[in-house]
Structure 1
Amino acid sequence: MSLHSINLPDDAAFSDFKNQCLSEENWVNKYNNNGMQVCVEVPPATKGNSVHKIHKIKCKITIKDVSAATMYDVLHDSQYRKKWDPTMLESFDIARLSANADVGYYSWLCPNPIKNRDVVTLRSWQVKDDEYIIVNFSVKHPKYPPRSDLVRAISILTGYYIKPTGPNSCTFIYLSQADPKGSLPKWVVNKASQVLAPRVLKSVHKAGQNYLEWKQQNSPDQKPWLFPEQSTLPMMDPAELVLQRADSLENVDESSKRDAQENEDSS
């Protein structure tokens, strides 16, 4: 089997993601205020093993006024995202891979002079034992290659873990290891992620506060992430996708071109 072959996340993958979300070992606290906590992973130094230059970041927020089920719906509802995500340029689902997995496209605005980014990801989700999990990672889709006007970013692993703490409250955890590519120094990426991630969570929390009212007016019974039979997306064989790795050699030419352009834009 190729190193880049696609395997849909199974129970073990979801369990591993949950354990990372809940683990405190090898995580350093960078911010803790008003129910918001930001941590960065510091993997143990192992002889012969290199540590990835892109930090893995984890943000945890205690939500006291929105249910876990509602926050889960907010993350899935692509129509609602257009209402609350000011950085989004374009977002759409491409195809279904299974009852609980799909592939989609997302592009977003970056502050000048940084070029805007986009990403193609395989997303999978699980609702089990009163817990909600969503995970994604970057893939290459034959019909959605990198665009000349955007830098193709890489999600190594990104996702959410949501656990109810009451009928209208929950613990909400966001975990991500992502490479925006381009010419940005890795230390800038790592530092920026510690600032941007809390802002994202605050925006998602606010979106959760307003979701039920919005959903009542916008196809209230349409939730294909809970009811797969409602999905109108075409089916796709995961074998048609290829894993997009952050350190993949096939990205070098594309990235170097974007590096040069981004450096010109920054000068």
Structure 2
Amino acid sequence: MKNFLITGLAMLFSLMSYAQTNWTLKHNKDGIQIYTKTIENSDYKGIKVKCSLPATLTEFTAVIMDVNTAGEWLYATKSSTLLKQVSPAEVYYYSEVGLPWPLSNRDFICHLTASQDPRTKVVTIDGPVVPDYMPAKDGIVRVTQSSGKWIITPAGPNMVNIEYTLEANPGGSLPAWLVNLFVTKGPMESFKKLKVQVDKPQYRKVQFAFIKNY
């Protein structure tokens, strides 16, 4: 039970922190590199994940924007539901992250926007939270400060380089020292499943007017 508790905490907060200092490589396995760094005015370690995947820019973007299926690959996601689709490049969604008893689950409302640099073809997906988009739920701690980013760089006709960073204040009272001991567990599990997710047939048919592939 203790190990499961530690893993759950590490998963949540390793996917919820980012800063502007030097990164230190902490884990490098199966083509997935995980970096950490100290965040100013925070007890939690920052995290950055880098990897390369056999996919087009469109296919990978389609996976991230397909928020209803995030639970299929994002570790410990209890639910992920589209709230509003403004356009193919902009969505709002609700997600609940499950933590083991006796901790309260966390939830957040995220505003995803995708864009492409017309010169470099690099696709950026920003994902700040909008905590007041819907009322908080009883028994669940609302994440009120978080801003994530995906940077998707073309590396060939069917290859992309991925860089993922995120910063957040998880809210509530949690032992940062314990979370930091296991900071690479959640990202590693998520990115292993992400490699499988992007290869699913439904994403090969997606087209976005705002993206030009390599």
TM range (shorter): 0.7 to 0.9
Q: Which amino acid aligns with 1:123?
A: L
- TM (norm. structure 1) is 0.61
Question: How far apart, in 2, do the equivalents of 1:59 and 1:113 lie?
Answer: 29
Question: How far apart, in 1, do the equivalents of 2:177 and 2:114 lie?
Answer: 31
Q: Which amino acid aligns with 1:114?
A: L
Gaps (5+ residues) in structure 1?
A: 1-19, 44-49, 229-267
SS in 2 for 1:157: strand
- 1:29 aligned residue: 25
SS in 1 for 2:186: helix
> Going by fraction, where is helix more abundant, 1 or 2?
1
The percent identity for this pair of structures is 21
Among residues 156, 176, 179, which one is paired with 1:186 in the alignment? 176
- 1:149 aligned residue: 139
Q: Which amino acid aligns with 1:175?
A: T
Change (3 A) 1:92 1:61: same
RMSD over equivalenced CA pairs, Å: 3.0
Question: How far apart, in 2, do the equivalents of 1:66 and 1:98 lie?
Answer: 23
Q: Which has the higher contact order (CA 8 A, sep 6+)?
A: 2
Q: CA deviation at 1:155?
A: 4.6
- 1:164 aligned residue: 154
Q: Which amino acid aligns with 1:27?
A: W
> Going by fraction, where is strand more abundant, 1 or 2?
2
Change (3 A) 1:84 1:99: closer
CA contact (8 A) 2:75 2:189 kept: no
- TM (norm. structure 2) is 0.74
Q: CA deviation at 1:154?
A: 4.0
Q: CA deviation at 1:96?
A: 5.3
SS in 2 for 1:196: helix
CA contact (8 A) 1:28 1:42 kept: no
Question: How far apart, in 2, do the equivalents of 1:135 and 1:196 lie?
Answer: 20
Change (3 A) 1:162 1:103: same
Question: How far apart, in 2, do the equivalents of 1:26 and 1:84 lie?
Answer: 28
CA contact (8 A) 2:25 2:35 kept: yes
1:92 partnered with 2:92: no
- 1:214 aligned residue: 202
Change (3 A) 1:108 1:160: same
1:110 partnered with 2:106: no
1:203 partnered with 2:205: no
1:126 partnered with 2:130: no
Report how many residues are paired. 191
SS in 2 for 1:205: helix
